[in-house]
Structure formats: structure tokens, C-alpha cells
Structure 1
Amino acid sequence: MTTLSGHLLAGLPPPEPGRRVSRPVGGFRLAYDRSGDGPAVMLLHGGHGDRTDWADVAVQLDATVVVPDLRGAGESDRWPHGDISVSGQAASVVGLIDELRLGRVVLGGYGVGAAVARLVAARHPRHVAGLVMTPPPRVPARTVAGTAHDIVRRSWTSWSAPRFVPDRARLEHLALQHDRRLLEMSGDAVPPQGPEVVTVPTTVLWPQLDPLIPDAWFDRLAERFRRVRVRGLPGVGHFVPVEAPMAFVDALHAALSERKDRHES
């Protein structure tokens, strides 16, 4: 079944013409933006956002920057019974890296995107030169009750820093751009720890006002990341690329510099 006919049978509108989309992996195509040149960076958004979360980061990077919508978000394919788990998302990310022939990328991720990025780095280290991430969230079930508009508004206002005020039009956009299953993705779907060990250089950005980070995530961190450093972000909530984009920009540039140094040595 083609993606277009599948959309129509599922009662979904056909994909919009003219956008960049990947080849399907597991039945899902990813919409993505690509800009710049040089070594590659790929940025993965959280479960309550989409690829536009990275707008203020992408424009600051001196690199080839690829920013996809995850499965079920933004303009990517949405299958009511498709696999939007962390492992399924990781398969699509690896497929996109291969399709675009990006080589070894520096991966950046926050929220659910951090869990996806970590899994890609652990299982596919030949695809990843470095990892910059926030701790993956553990989302309380009580916060995902109500309509998509309720969930998005509540999350972006209560999980961000007190002085951060989301734009109403942006919240409306995000509420319309998501598979509800992503909004409801719980801590069971995004475990704070996993058996896979990340061997690539990793920077963990720790937003210290993010209420979704379990303290246990930092237990035995060095056992799960061979080369890891933690940078605290005082006064920053869950939505780091939007609240404090330069924190990601600086960390990604540092990862790119380390990649270059290793390549030249």
C-alpha cells in the first residue's frame, strides 16, 4: 500500500506537496528541513513539540543541519496503529541519516527526542559522532488528561521556566500537529535508564527547572555513558531549544569541534 492510499484509507488528508520527506521506514515518512553545509547535525524535538522547536538553534549552527518531525508529529506520517515508540522513532532517524548520506552526525535531542537520540547513539555508534541531549522525561499520567489543546497548553506553561510565556498561535499550531499518542507517551515508554551503553562523546544539558527529570536518571551515569559531561542550566525549564537556544548551540558547536579534532588527529 502506498503512503498516499494509506492516508486516504485511514481518513487522513494526503501529504502536502512540495515538502521534503524521507523514504518510508516502518510505513512512516519523516518531513524534515535541511540547511547549511559542512559536517552534519540532526536535531530531534520533544513529544509536545515539532521540528519548529529548533528554529532558533538551527540558524546559529555552522553545519549541515537536518531537523525532522518525528513519527506522528508535525508534517510526518501519522498512522493510527503504527509504531511511534522510541525504538520505532530511532529506526526512522537512522533511515534518514542513511538516505541523506550524512555520514556520522552530531545528534541533538530534548524530551522524547533525547530518548530517541540516546538510543540511536547506543545502537548505531557508527552513525553518530557526538550526542547533546537533555535527560529524557518521565511524564505523569495526570498531565495528559483532556484535549490535545489542553495538554499542549498545560505542558508548555507548567513545564517551562516561570518567565517563559508561550505564544498562543504556537500552542494552537502544536495542538493541531500531533498524534495524541505522542502527547500521552509515559515514563514507561521513555525509561530513564536502559541497558545500552553510549560510547560516543556525550553532553547532557540539565535544565534545572524541568519538573519531569527523575533524580534516578543520574544514578550510575558513567556506567551508561562512556564519555559524558553534565552542564547545568539554571533558570531553564523543559523546552530548552525554545527557552535557552544558545545552550544547545554552544554544546553542539563544541561537539562539532571535537569531531573535527578527532578527524584531523
Structure 2
Amino acid sequence: MTNPFPLLYARTPLLDVAYEAHGPIDGKPVILLHGFPYDPRAYDAIAPVLAGHGCRVLVPYLRGYGPTRFINAQVMRSGQQAALAKDLLDFMDALAIPQATLAGYDWGGRAACIVAALWPERVHGLVTGDGYNIQDIAQSLKPRAPVTEHRLWYQYYFHTPRGMDGLTANRGELCKLLWSLWSPSWAEGPGLYAQTAASFDNPDFVEVVIHSYRHRFMYAPGDPALEAIEQALALQPAISVPSISLCGADDGVGPPPEVDDDVEHFSGFYQRRVLPGVGHNIPQEAPQATLDAVLELLGEKRSR
């Protein structure tokens, strides 16, 4: 499907990052980050409005998605959390952005949380889907409640050769299934899926996804070049920048607990907002709530 917005490219040390840009060049930078299995279409109702407020809005395709490509065929196709964060930092450096407001969910939320935690001087404010998204890999092998284990079936599937073959052969159907399971009350979702599905045809999609879900359970080694970042993340660093967490009350993979157990990870201004009738794909299901949160952190709306 044709992208509704023109594509630009930023060359980083590892990637040619495809991204969409909105708003004036000299506007306040806002970077919107998608997750798995999604793409920049999640922000179609948000990015132009932010641009109308005078922001410079950048919406990149993550590694392994859409037109984003690795520069070197020999580079490890890592999907680990440190890789996503380093990609975001490199993207900001490539575009000479000293500081930006970040909004992301799922993989994109993880990248945003990590940059906010480890490089807070680069982040004006953070809108994070589902709170503190930095993985505690050392605790990953501890059994969870059976209902939680059931929701994570796809991750265990990806740990196996069968899962890798299944994602390769059936990526469109599998990702569509995840959309429906994770956003059960989103009536528009099935009709919008085709706009995003083409992004999973990226030649590195399967390898990046499989590595992501294996690394977080210590079933695959990480990129040695990223080990210092992973060691810093193992300490579960606090996020000090002003932050708003948006949680879908109907999230089929990670429903928000009644008591916010992420608050201890935020040392600065922090609010959690649970959104009724919203699933996992927060910005596409709740664009107004996402937009309001970004504008509040930009100082254009009074904080609640």
C-alpha cells in the first residue's frame, strides 16, 4: 500500500532509517515510535495535528520494518532492547536533534524509555505506552501467573525453529491475529490492518523479531557492541524526565494492573492514565488521548 506521506531517509552508522516528517523544520522536535507488529500508520491521526501546533514531527520505521534497511549485510540483525534504543539515539544524532519529546509503545516505547533513562538530557518529555518498558532480563526466566503465560504464547512460539518458520511463512496472518487478540474492542482494527501489513515484508523483519523475543529470555546472545548498554539496563535505571504513561484497559497482551507497579521507576513528574475501551495499539486506538499527553509535556496544555 502506498504511504500517505512522503518518505525521507536518515543514515546512521548501521541503518538507512526511513521516516515521515511533518511540520516546520525549526519546530519543537517530537519523535513518534511504533511497536510490534505495527508501523507509522499508528500515528496518522496524531502527527499532522502536532505539526499544526508548530512541532517538527518525525515518525521512523524501526529496524526490520518497512523501507528501513541495514547498510551492511554482515551486521547482526539484533532486535534486543539496546539496539532499538541505540537506533533512536543514532537517528537523533543523524538529524542533529539535541533534544526531543518522545512518544512510543511496545518496541517503540521501550526505545523511548531507555533513551529517557540513560540519556535524559536528550529527552524533553516521554509519553510511554504501558509504563516502564525496560526489560528486566535477569528475571525473565521466572514463571509468571498462568494467565500471563497464556498471553505470551507468541513469544514462546518464536523461541522455536517452528516459530521462526511460521513467522516467515505466515507473517501476515500471524500479525493480524495478534492485532485482534491484543485490541479486542477496536472495531476499526481489522479494516486498517492492510495499511500496515506491507511493513512486515522487510527482508530483515523475521530475523529481527525472532532475535528480540529470544534475547529477552536469554535464549540468544546479544550484539557485543551493545553490551555496555545492556549492563546499564540490567540495573533498571529510573526515568527522571517528565513522563505520562498511557495504558489500554482492554489490552489483550498486557492489561494494566489495578495498582501501578511502575511508579517506582519514575523519579520525576509521572502520571498513569488508563484508557477505557482501548487495547494495545494505543496511539491508533486513542489518538486524542495520545495527542493530549504529548501537548501537555510540550507545555501547550495544562497538566491535569
Q: Is the 8 Å Cα contact of residues 159 and 210 (structure 1) preserved in structure 2?
A: yes
Residue 206 of structure 2 aligns with which residue?
A: 180
In the alignment, which of 9, 25, 28 is matched to residue 21 of structure 1? 9
Single out whichever of 143-152 and 233-242 deviates more from structure 2: 143-152
Single out whichever of 169-178 and 240-249 deviates more from structure 2: 169-178
Q: Deviations over 1:141-166 (max 9, x none)?
A: 25754321122110111111324232
Alpha-carbon separation, structure 2, partners of 1:190 and 1:58: 34
Residue 14 of structure 1 aligns with which residue?
A: none
Residue 5 of structure 1 aligns with which residue?
A: none
Unaligned runs of 5+ in 2: 1-5, 136-150, 219-232
Over the matched positions of the two proteins, sequence identity in percent amounts to 28
The one-letter amino acid of 1:31's match is A
Alpha-carbon separation, structure 2, partners of 1:231 and 1:215: 10
Alpha-carbon separation, structure 2, partners of 1:35 and 1:60: 9
Single out whichever of 32-41 and 122-131 deviates more from structure 2: 32-41
The 3 A distance-change label for structure 1 pair 41 and 237 is same
1:239 aligns with 2:227: no
Q: Deviations over 1:205-233 (max 9, x none)?
A: 01111122266797652321112110110
**Larger RCO of the pair (alpha carbons < 8 Å, separation 6+):** 2
Q: Deviations over 1:60-90 (max 9, x none)?
A: 1121101111111111115683223221121
Alpha-carbon separation, structure 1, partners of 2:105 and 2:64: 17
The 3 A distance-change label for structure 1 pair 225 and 187 is farther
**Secondary structure of the structure 2 residue equivalent to 1:115:** helix
The one-letter amino acid of 2:173's match is D
Q: Is the 8 Å Cα contact of residues 123 and 196 (structure 1) preserved in structure 2?
A: yes
Residue 290 of structure 2 aligns with which residue?
A: 248
**Secondary structure of the structure 2 residue equivalent to 1:59:** helix
Pairs aligned (count): 243
In the alignment, which of 246, 269, 289 is matched to residue 205 of structure 1? 246
1:52 aligns with 2:44: no
The one-letter amino acid of 2:296's match is A
The one-letter amino acid of 2:59's match is V
Alpha-carbon separation, structure 2, partners of 1:247 and 1:181: 34
Alpha-carbon separation, structure 2, partners of 1:134 and 1:160: 14
Q: Is the 8 Å Cα contact of residues 131 and 200 (structure 1) preserved in structure 2?
A: yes
The 3 A distance-change label for structure 1 pair 215 and 245 is closer
The one-letter amino acid of 1:208's match is A
The 5-angstrom pairing of residues 1-265 of structure 1 reads: 19-25=7-13, 27-37=14-24, 38-61=27-50, 62=53, 63-78=55-70, 81-135=76-130, 136=133, 139-140=152-153, 141=155, 145=163, 146=166, 147-164=170-187, 165-167=189-191, 169-170=194-195, 172-177=197-202, 179-184=205-210, 185-186=212-213, 189=216, 195-213=236-254, 220-227=261-268, 228-257=270-299
Q: Tell me the TM-score normalised to structure 2 length.
A: 0.70
The 3 A distance-change label for structure 1 pair 246 and 68 is same
The 3 A distance-change label for structure 1 pair 23 and 157 is same
Q: Is the 8 Å Cα contact of residues 148 and 183 (structure 1) preserved in structure 2?
A: no
Alpha-carbon separation, structure 1, partners of 2:217 and 2:63: 15
Residue 3 of structure 1 aligns with which residue?
A: none
Single out whichever of 145-154 and 246-255 deviates more from structure 2: 145-154
